[in-house]
Amino acid sequence: MQAGSRLHRKLQKRMGAGYQAEVPLKYQAAMESFDCIVEGRADGIFMDDGLATVDEIKGVCRDVSLLEAPAEVHKAQAMCYAYIYGTQQELSGIRVRMTYCNLETEELKYFYFSYGLSELEEWFKALMKEYEKWAVFQAEWRAALRESIRPLEFPFPYREGQKDLAYGVYRTIARKKRLFIQAPTGVGKTMSAVFPAVKAMGEGLGDKLFYLTAKTITRTVVEDALGILRDKGLRLKSVTLTAKEKLCICTETDCNPDCCPYAKGHYDRVNEAVYRLLTEGPDNLNREALLSWAHEYQVCPFEMSLDVSDWTDAVICDYNYVFDPNVRLKRFFSEGVKGEYLFLIDEAHNLVERGREMFSAALCKEDFLELKRRIKGRYRKAERGLERCNRYLLDLKRECATYRLHDDVGAFSLMVMSLMGELEAMLEEGLEPELQKEVQEFWFGLRDFLNIYDRLDESYVVYSEFSEDGRFRLKLFCIETAKNLRECLDKGNSTVFFSATLLPMPYYKHLLGDEEDYAVYARSPFSGEQRLILIGRDVSSRYTRRSREEYERMAGYLEAMVKSRKGNYLVFFPSYRMLLEVYEIFLELYGGDEAECLIQSPGMNEEEREEFLRGFREESSAREKSRLGFCVMGGIFSEGIDLKGEALIGAAVIGTGLPQVCNEREILKNFYEAQGMDGFAYAYRYPGMNKVLQAAGRVIRTPEDQGIVLLLDERFLNSEYKRLYPLEWEEYEMCTLSDTSRLLEEFWSVLGKEPDKSGGRRA
């Protein structure tokens, strides 16, 4: 996009004094119940042989000599400008010029079309007539939405602090600010964010809500929240965007019309499908609804979901649909586009690493060599381009021991840009299917690299390294994400970040927002008597302490936990290797007498994951012993799962969750230390403690839950870790293996008394 904008300005300057560049145009079209304003900006208008000519410039990467005609949508855009300009200037005829320019070579190709104004008028009015039913639907629906919001009230009795939380969200939206909310499980943070955002929409403070999540399960939670409000009278349309691969009806995702029956003729049918879905379908347009409608109309469900998002009031989606420069929804977040958007970002602690991933890019030397081998002797220019890139990376490789920082890789970026042009020529010619796909995927990798290269600034580090598999790569690594995230957030009105683990708050404000952003800490509504937090001061997961003796002590803690009361428990380890070693010792020492053991295995698919969780959701009273799940901290079972009540009554967290030492973590540490900050905390301690808090948060999920949390590492008692404790951890107890059983039995014996309605305990 930036390259295209530069090219536009360059071409416009060449056209001479008679060429008017960037001409704003505006037209008011009368419709049955209202007027519709059509506006835009023509790239250029000039006189050619006495005839006014509207110029529409398009920068492309492909070889323009291969273009036989302009894209119809490009031509239609120019025709709209031609009609508006011709009408305003009272012309009888006008010309359109489509100018296509290669972004690299600047080679030009022109297409000319001449129209009588009456011809353009007939075409334009037919276009507006087709659009009118959409405009009418939009106007009537927005009126119905606001009317339904006005009497809407919070659907539940407010929990302690929940009303203040909802008010804080509304006030933030009204002031067009950003808010960070640290809200423990049980506060009801989803409804506390969604309800005031909906009320704000009713007051005209926003016209589209984006609810962003990191995991699929969280999307179901917000769908349920909106469903509750709909039951109270809310009329709001929402669409849940699902990855193309999960929506695709084909065995393999291939959008070629020759391979997919839904792709063939998709654009002939999709407008009617979308219109009927909006006017006759459900207000909750989730995966099931989209698939059903797509099947009826034989259209691509993924592409239809994107079209539907233009017309809905709320979009529920993954972070990447808003932030990822290669995936984000261009209709809402491209250059020059701005809207009255409200952003609710759930589980916002995930956005730090996800943001770094989305705004970074890497290329591997071995991939250049492999593609060169595949096309050897067939495409000489592309082969030479691959060899130039390979030689550049080879020079870096010779100078690299483990990893090395680089100040400038501008020469390499030019080589990559040149290579892309040669690969495009190959793709235009057509290759055998397997090679075509391989070249296309490689081309996308090059494109992503160049897109990120254009973003390089002081928030990036460029480095080369040997990966664990021995491959050599060059990476553009985004360390500071806030600037890139704001690029999209600033296109809307207001943003609310919320999570159960946003500690320490300055860390997250620094990486996701700004120091001046609002922040709220919501207290847990649960009684401290519902949980017992024990910190083992005689056990450690430090590398220097890892031994048979230490693992036996860990196994002893687990035995005490599952023996204290029959039920379901989870234990989280810093690595899969330690998990296996402690598991084997646990079985050796205790033989599974006290607990049936389940193990998280690497790469579990969705079915295996559900099978694991099913064991915890089964009625436990019929079993003779406890159930103990061995899991990895930061894995699929340490976040985003909801095991309420008796489904989980305890968890042990072994270690402080520190990420494994690697080149990237060391680069992060050194980056922040160079700025006079606590590099170890930013690179290791804060991300690690977040995993600990997430794992421990699996235990208490509802006001009725009771449970224990064992923190098994002496380092949890150090001041730098205690400063990161949430408020609800204030009443922890220290323990050793020798007194753990007694403390656990005392806790459960007290909870054996009948609870009173106030949340306290009575005999």
Residue at a domain's end among 130, 160, 175? 130
139 within a domain of the structure (yes/no)? no
What CATH number did the domain enclosing 458 receive?
A: 1.10.275.40
Reduced to 3 states (helix: H, G, I; strand: E, B; else coil), residue 27 is strand
Percent of the chain having pLDDT more than 70? 97
User: Shortest CA distance to 191 belongs to which of 165, 160, 216, 152?
Assistant: 165
Number of domains in the chain: 5
Chain mean pLDDT for the chain: 91
User: Across 553-679, where does the E strand assignment appear?
Assistant: 568-573, 595-599, 626-632, 650-654
**At 1, is the pLDDT very low, low, confident or very high (cuts 50, 70, 90)?**
low
- 613 vs 428, which has greater pLDDT? 613
Q: Which of the given ranges, 82-91, 290-299, 428-437, has the highest pLDDT on average?
A: 82-91
Check if the beta carbon of residue 453 is closer than 8 Å to that of residue 412: no
Shared-domain flag, residues 554 and 538: yes
**At 620, is the pLDDT very low, low, confident or very high (cuts 50, 70, 90)?**
low
Check if the beta carbon of residue 6 is closer than 8 Å to that of residue 103: no
Rounded Cα distance, 141 and 310, in Å: 13
* pLDDT tens, position by position, 72-82: 999 999 999 99
Check if the beta carbon of residue 446 is closer than 8 Å to that of residue 419: yes
* Mean pLDDT of the region 280-288: 94
Shared-domain flag, residues 9 and 33: yes
**At 398, is the pLDDT very low, low, confident or very high (cuts 50, 70, 90)?**
very high
- Other Cβ atoms closer than 10 A to 288: 11
Rounded Cα distance, 695 and 700, in Å: 11
Three-state SS sequence of 704-725: CCCEEEEEECHHHHCHHHHCCC
* pLDDT tens, position by position, 189-233: 899 999 999 999 999 999 999 999 998 777 889 999 999 999 999
Rounded Cα distance, 293 and 277, in Å: 7
757 within a domain of the structure (yes/no)? no
For residue 621, the enclosing domain spans: 528-751
Shared-domain flag, residues 545 and 427: no
- 591 vs 579, which has greater pLDDT? 579
Rounded Cα distance, 224 and 218, in Å: 10
Shared-domain flag, residues 578 and 720: yes
Give residue 762's pLDDT: 29
* Mean pLDDT of the region 153-157: 95
Half-sphere exposure at residue 714, Cβ-oriented, CA atoms within 13 angstroms: 10
Shared-domain flag, residues 437 and 392: yes
User: Shortest CA distance to 480 belongs to which of 355, 375, 597?
Assistant: 355
142 within a domain of the structure (yes/no)? no
* pLDDT tens, position by position, 413-468: 999 999 998 998 898 888 888 899 899 999 999 999 999 999 999 999 999 999 88
**At 3, is the pLDDT very low, low, confident or very high (cuts 50, 70, 90)?**
low
- 63 vs 164, which has greater pLDDT? 164
For the chain, helix, strand, coil in percent to 5 are 45, 20, 35
* Mean pLDDT of the region 720-725: 95
Which token pair is 674?
């160079």
Shared-domain flag, residues 156 and 214: yes
Residue at a domain's end among 469, 503, 521? 521
Check if the beta carbon of residue 487 is closer than 8 Å to that of residue 382: no
Which token pair is 263?
């792709």
Give residue 622's pLDDT: 64
Single pTM value for the model:
0.88
Strands 20-30 and 35-48: antiparallel
135 within a domain of the structure (yes/no)? no
* Mean pLDDT of the region 661-684: 97
* Mean pLDDT of the region 168-179: 97
Give residue 763's pLDDT: 27
Shared-domain flag, residues 61 and 111: yes
Give residue 757's pLDDT: 33
What CATH number did the domain enclosing 347 receive?
A: 3.40.50.300
| Residue 755 predicted with pLDDT over 50 | no
Give residue 5's pLDDT: 66
Q: Residues 62, 65, 71, 75: is their CA dihedral positive or negative?
A: positive
Which token pair is 415?
């080589």
**At 758, is the pLDDT very low, low, confident or very high (cuts 50, 70, 90)?**
very low
The answer for residues whose C-beta is within 8 angstroms of residue 519's C-beta and 6 or more apart is: 179, 180, 181, 182, 505, 509
Check if the beta carbon of residue 541 is closer than 8 Å to that of residue 713: yes
Check if the beta carbon of residue 442 is closer than 8 Å to that of residue 367: yes
Which token pair is 686?
């804060």
Shared-domain flag, residues 155 and 220: yes
Shared-domain flag, residues 79 and 175: no
* Mean pLDDT of the region 252-264: 78
Give residue 736's pLDDT: 97
* pLDDT tens, position by position, 515-562: 999 999 988 777 778 889 999 999 999 989 999 999 999 999 999 999
Shared-domain flag, residues 583 and 728: yes
Give residue 261's pLDDT: 81
Give residue 304's pLDDT: 93
**At 754, is the pLDDT very low, low, confident or very high (cuts 50, 70, 90)?**
very low
Give residue 15's pLDDT: 79
Shared-domain flag, residues 597 and 657: yes
Residue at a domain's end among 478, 509, 544? 478
243 within a domain of the structure (yes/no)? no
331 within a domain of the structure (yes/no)? yes
* Mean pLDDT of the region 723-746: 94
The answer for residues whose C-beta is within 8 angstroms of residue 653's C-beta and 6 or more apart is: 571, 572, 633, 692, 695, 696, 709, 710, 711, 712
- 485 vs 2, which has greater pLDDT? 485
User: In which residue are the tokens 């008011």 written?
Assistant: 28
What CATH number did the domain enclosing 96 receive?
A: 3.90.320.10
> Residue 386 phi/psi, 5° resolution?
-65, -40
Q: How far is CA 704 from the centre of its chain?
A: 33
* Mean pLDDT of the region 334-357: 93
Shared-domain flag, residues 19 and 166: no
217 within a domain of the structure (yes/no)? yes
69 within a domain of the structure (yes/no)? yes
